[in-house]
């Protein structure tokens, strides 16, 4: 059983009060691999990614859903492989993240370019590789994306990122969002908030 819900499922505390990961104590891992050491429970990453993908599909079962892993959280070739094998797309926001995902063998159709400081080079790479979406985050980006696409002789898949009045959003989305969140770990099913947005952010961060 995990130490707490935000810890990997394979974590525990043994009788000596030591944190363990799949039976290995943190001390034994440090002795073997040295410090600093990042320990990633790949089984848990895969399980959580699959949970989010299935929950979104179940909550919005009258349409096609895409759940994207935020590359800025942690990106390596192995993480790319795990989350895409679990059904996720990968949201990238820098040239480095784009290159890591592509080097891991992730096809452009499983990648998203997001961020309000995109360079022309990043936009061009996203168009060349056929990214699933280029998220429009700034007023001048539609014209920039279109110009670069014309220069390359290719089509760009763009998604407009709009921020609407939060009160309107809460009323419009509460039902569907609550249905999704109630399938995810940590939702109590009864909430006094005006919308589930804060819960969603905290759950994603914890997962």
Beta-bridge mates of residue 160: 136
The answer to whether 111 and 126 are in contact (CB under 8 A) is yes
- Three-state secondary-structure class, residue 68: strand
Per the structure block, which two tokens stand in for 202?
């905290």
Omega prior to 36 cis, within 30 of 0? yes
The answer to whether 98 and 111 are in contact (CB under 8 A) is yes
The answer to whether 91 and 110 are in contact (CB under 8 A) is no
The answer to whether 185 and 55 are in contact (CB under 8 A) is no
**pLDDT of residue 180 exceeding 70:** no
Question: How many other β-carbons are positioned within 10 Å of the β-carbon of residue 47?
Answer: 13
The per-residue pLDDT for range 141-160, each reduced to its tens digit, is 899 999 999 999 999 998 87
- Three-state secondary-structure class, residue 22: coil
Beta-bridge mates of residue 90: 69, 111
The predicted model gives 32-50 an average pLDDT of 93
pLDDT of residue 8: 86
What's the predicted TM-score (pTM) here? 0.75
pLDDT of residue 162: 64
How far, in whole angstroms, is CA 144 from its chain's centroid? 26
Quote the DSSP letter at residue 195: S
| 11 φ/ψ angles, rounded to the nearest 5 degrees | -90, 155
CA distances from 205 to 70, 97, 99, 105, 164 (A): 10, 19, 24, 26, 23
pLDDT of residue 193: 41
């Amino acid at each position: 059983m995990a130490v707490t819900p935000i810890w990997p499922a394979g974590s525990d505390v043994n009788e000596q009060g030591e944190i363990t990961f799949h039976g290995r104590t943190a001390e034994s891992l440090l002795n073997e691999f040295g410090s600093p050491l990042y320990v990633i429970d790949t089984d848990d990453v895969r399980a959580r990614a699959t949970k989010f993908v299935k929950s979104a599909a179940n909550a919005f079962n009258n349409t096609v859903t895409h759940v994207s892993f935020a590359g800025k959280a942690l990106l390596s070739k192995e993480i790319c492989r795990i989350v895409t094998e679990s059904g996720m797309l990968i949201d990238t926001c820098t040239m480095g993240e784009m290159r890591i995902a592509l080097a891991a063998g992730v096809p452009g159709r499983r990648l998203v370019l997001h961020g309000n400081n995109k360079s022309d080079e990043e936009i061009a790479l996203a168009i060349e590789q056929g990214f699933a979406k280029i998220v429009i985050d700034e007023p001048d980006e539609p014209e920039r994306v279109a110009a670069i696409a014309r220069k390359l002789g290719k089509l760009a898949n763009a998604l407009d990122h709009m921020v609407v009045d939060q009160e309107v959003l809460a009323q419009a989305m509460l039902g569907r969002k609550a249905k999704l969140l109630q399938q995810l770990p940590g939702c109590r099913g009864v909430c006094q908030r005006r919308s589930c947005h804060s819960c969603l952010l905290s759950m994603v961060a914890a997962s």
